[in-house]
Structure 1
Amino acid sequence: MKYTFISVPATAQKKTTFLNIKAKLAEYADTNAFPIPDFKIGTLDTLVLLSDDLVKYDIAFEQTVNKIADIVRTFTLGTTSHEQTLLVNDKSIDQYIRTFQWNTMKYRTDKSLQETTVTLSQEVNAIDAIMKTKLNTYTQNKNSLQTLQRKQTGNLSVKNLNGIIKKQHCVLNSEYLTTLVVAVPKSLYKQWNGKYETLTSMVVPRSSVKVAEDDEFGLFTITLFQRVVDEFTHKAREDRFIVRDFTYDEDALKLQQEELDQVSSVEMEQQIELGRLAKINFGELFASWVHLKALRVFVETVLRYGLPPDFTAVSIAVQPKFEKKVDETLLAQYGRLGGTHGLNSSSQQDEILDHDLQTVNDSSYRPYVQFDLYFDSHHT
């Protein structure tokens, strides 16, 4: 989705100017009015500074909009199409831009342009911060769930052993003896059987029992004195025998399943909540972004064409492959504007000369005011 917002001098004929542009582009694009209210302007110096700030805000808003759109896509996947989930004020993105109206309830026109810009930025930053916190919480919980799931599905060197090691495999309630559980690679069975008794002193002879096996490892229990556990663990590691951290607990299997169910349930709830919040906030963010574009059009229009503001602004939805044609048509119609146009005095021209020179050096410069909004609704 690419939309182009342009502004040209209206010379007191706003409607005629709009209809003229619409007719010229009829074959290549859908053109709609992009109504921008009359704002309190202040000095041209402050407008030049604001124009530079608006560039930075525009980039930041675009990044935030795309970030939240990605969350919507991720967490509402398979439920509805992206066009149905990415809504702005209950309208599709396309409808919202084509029927755009400035929200005077949220952004009062008796406020300065700087105040309105700050309000927009604060709203976007607040939403971004909330979504970042929610996403971090979700990610932490998802990582916990994956860790628990890995313990249930991994090989015997990492898998949770509750339910595999039974009561009869362990020496319990002994003052001196204990049972260790060791994962031995299948290729090292012979080495294990030949060495485990002599890795340290105080290992009970012939106490090794294989209790489970998978494609990679065998799981063996051995009995030894508690005082040599650390030494045995260290020596075993040198021979690639993995001593598992395991203590027999009759209720552990039940508790393990309860924990998995709880974390899984919380993860699902957070997923639904994230998707819901992201959908709502996407609409708010996208509306803020389009309002910021309107501010950019207005500020640039005053800097380019002078005071009092007398211009027509339109949004153009270009048909695929006709972008060049639209550009050529607009240049043919408004190329005569050159740099500035219709300024009231040479002092106004001096004030914005530097700004205009910077703009002309930009490769996207046009003799009329133009800003693009590009949003990929299918990006993942």
Structure 2
Amino acid sequence: MKGKLAEFAETYNFPVPDFKIGTLDALVVLSDDLTKFDTQFEQSANKIADIVRALSGQNQLAHLLVVNDKSMDDYVRNFQWNTMKYRTDKSLQETTATLSQEVNAIDTIMKTKLNTYTLNKNSLQTLQRKQNGNLSVKNLNGIVKKQHCVLNSEYLTTLIIAVPKSLYKQWNAKYETLTAMVVPRSSTVIAEDDEYGLFTVTLFKRVAEEFSHKAREERFVVRDFQYDEDALQSQQQELDLASATESDQQAELLRLAKINFGEVFGSWVHLKALRVFVESVLRYGLPPDFTSVALVPRPKLEAKVDETLLAQYGRLGGVHGQAVSSNHEDILDHDLQSVNDSNYRPYVQFELSFDFDRS
């Protein structure tokens, strides 16, 4: 049967140490905790893999996601319990708590770093939109020239208005009468794009706020702009700084994500080993006497692996296991049918799925 299994899967030793066991009641509680932590660790690994994918721009991540300088496959195939980090003379509960604390700490660090990076990336994108957007939103430094504005006047000021092209006629007909104290024929178009024209209008400072309010009611976009000869250089410096900061933080976040993925994945595999030990003791009793292996089914042969294992080890589950192992035979007893429906297996089995590549 072992030879037959080799046709369907690769088999690797998966050594699990002898741990301090404690009481049966404590093991039952721990079993539930391990199930929850298993899900949490998998989610953490997936979140970090998603960060690596987003920052690297790659869907095929196998070469980027390594564990202790090994590929994920090699790490599982050659798994050895890390006795330096997780001492076997500690209780199972203590070891589980250590693993959970490590993953939680990494989750917190990654969340904080990702939030900081996202804020800076959003700031950069805002600056870039101001550089590249239409005339209703883009930065006007370099577009509005000194000669377009009334400067250093005690009474007069110049407003800059982005007018939709469909409203040119409406603007020219109404701007002089939106409020009092508008300088007649003071509006000129100084720039255009596909959607808007950029107009100036000169008026008394005292009515500027009222004029802006009335202009917005007419769907004209009043730009908040003050002419500054040094603004264009400052704007470019701000953009360059934001771009450099975003680039540095992206590189740091990617580096940290790859490191922490290895830590989380390693913790996850160690947690699987704990689950194997706890469930085996609960299933088969004391003293612990079992062998654990990692099975890697060949493509599309998972069902064959399952059938082979059931045929060989069905006897371990007593009457339940024998019923399950007779995969295609009729099961008369209703309770046994329920066992079969619940995917009961006469051996302890946990899946470790880590295909983080996306086509």
Tell me whether the two structures share a fold, i.e. TM-score over 0.5: yes
| SS across alignment from 1:82 | coil
Aligned-pair CA distance for 1:364: 3.3
Aligned-pair CA distance for 1:229: 1.1
Rounded to whole Å, the distance in 2 between the matches of 1:235 and 1:363 is 70
Q: Quick check: 1:212–1:219 contact (8 Å CA) kept in 2?
A: yes
* Runs of 4+ off more than 4 Å: 359-362
Candidates 305, 310, 313, aligned match of 1:331? 310
Q: For residues 340 and 104 of structure 1, do their structure 2 counterparts lie closer, same or farther at Cα, with a shift above 3 Å needed?
A: farther
Rounded to whole Å, the distance in 1 between the matches of 2:36 and 2:312 is 30
Candidates 135, 138, 147, aligned match of 2:126? 147
2:100 equivalent to 1:121: yes
Give unmatched runs, 5+ long, in structure 2. 321-335
Residue 6 of structure 1 aligns with which residue? none
Residue 331 of structure 2 aligns with which residue? none
2:213 equivalent to 1:264: no
| SS across alignment from 2:228 | coil
Q: For residues 362 and 265 of structure 1, do their structure 2 counterparts lie closer, same or farther at Cα, with a shift above 3 Å needed?
A: farther
Q: For residues 340 and 150 of structure 1, do their structure 2 counterparts lie closer, same or farther at Cα, with a shift above 3 Å needed?
A: farther
Query: What's the CA shift string for 1:136-174, capped at 9, x where partnerless?
Result: 000000000000000011111111100000111111111
| SS across alignment from 1:164 | coil
Residue 185 of structure 2 aligns with which residue? 206
Q: Quick check: 1:304–1:339 contact (8 Å CA) kept in 2?
A: no
| SS across alignment from 2:190 | strand
Query: What's the CA shift string for 1:114-138, capped at 9, x where partnerless?
Result: 0000000000000111011110000
Residue 226 of structure 1 aligns with which residue? 205
Q: For residues 174 and 182 of structure 1, do their structure 2 counterparts lie closer, same or farther at Cα, with a shift above 3 Å needed?
A: same
Residue 26 of structure 1 aligns with which residue? 6
Aligned-pair CA distance for 1:340: 10
Rounded to whole Å, the distance in 2 between the matches of 1:103 and 1:148 is 48
Residue 57 of structure 1 aligns with which residue? 37
Give, as a single letter, the amino acid of the residue that structure 2 aligns with 1:141: N
Rounded to whole Å, the distance in 1 between the matches of 2:108 and 2:229 is 45
Q: Quick check: 1:185–1:216 contact (8 Å CA) kept in 2?
A: yes
Rounded to whole Å, the distance in 2 between the matches of 1:85 and 1:245 is 47
Residue 297 of structure 2 aligns with which residue? 318
Give, as a single letter, the amino acid of the residue that structure 2 aligns with 1:36: V
Q: Quick check: 1:304–1:340 contact (8 Å CA) kept in 2?
A: no
Residue 306 of structure 1 aligns with which residue? 285
Q: Quick check: 1:334–1:367 contact (8 Å CA) kept in 2?
A: yes
Q: Quick check: 1:181–1:221 contact (8 Å CA) kept in 2?
A: yes
- Superposed CA RMSD in Å reads 1.8
Residue 254 of structure 1 aligns with which residue? 233
Aligned-pair CA distance for 1:61: 0.3
Rounded to whole Å, the distance in 2 between the matches of 1:363 and 1:226 is 79
Residue 182 of structure 1 aligns with which residue? 161
Q: Which moved more, 1:331-340 or 1:210-219?
A: 331-340
2:48 equivalent to 1:68: yes
Aligned-pair CA distance for 1:199: 0.2
Candidates 164, 170, 189, aligned match of 2:149? 170
Residue 330 of structure 2 aligns with which residue? none
Rounded to whole Å, the distance in 2 between the matches of 1:365 and 1:67 is 31
Give, as a single letter, the amino acid of the residue that structure 2 aligns with 1:106: K
Rounded to whole Å, the distance in 2 between the matches of 1:133 and 1:262 is 21
Q: Quick check: 1:37–1:102 contact (8 Å CA) kept in 2?
A: yes
Give, as a single letter, the amino acid of the residue that structure 2 aligns with 1:177: L
Rounded to whole Å, the distance in 2 between the matches of 1:220 and 1:169 is 10
Rounded to whole Å, the distance in 1 between the matches of 2:247 and 2:78 is 37
Aligned-pair CA distance for 1:379: 3.5
2:325 equivalent to 1:372: no
Residue 273 of structure 1 aligns with which residue? 252
Rounded to whole Å, the distance in 1 between the matches of 2:140 and 2:340 is 68
Residue 175 of structure 2 aligns with which residue? 196
Aligned-pair CA distance for 1:77: 3.0
Aligned-pair CA distance for 1:263: 0.3
Q: Quick check: 1:181–1:246 contact (8 Å CA) kept in 2?
A: yes
Give, as a single letter, the amino acid of the residue that structure 2 aligns with 1:368: Y
Aligned-pair CA distance for 1:38: 0.3
Q: For residues 267 and 372 of structure 1, do their structure 2 counterparts lie closer, same or farther at Cα, with a shift above 3 Å needed?
A: same
Aligned-pair CA distance for 1:265: 0.4
Candidates 77, 85, 88, aligned match of 1:109? 88
Q: TM-score normalized by structure 1?
A: 0.87
Aligned-pair CA distance for 1:81: 5.1
Q: For residues 188 and 272 of structure 1, do their structure 2 counterparts lie closer, same or farther at Cα, with a shift above 3 Å needed?
A: same
Q: Quick check: 1:120–1:292 contact (8 Å CA) kept in 2?
A: yes
Query: What's the CA shift string for 1:296-348, capped at 9, x where partnerless?
Result: 0000000000000000000000111100000000000011112699xxxxxxx
State the number of aligned residues: 343
Aligned-pair CA distance for 1:361: 8.8
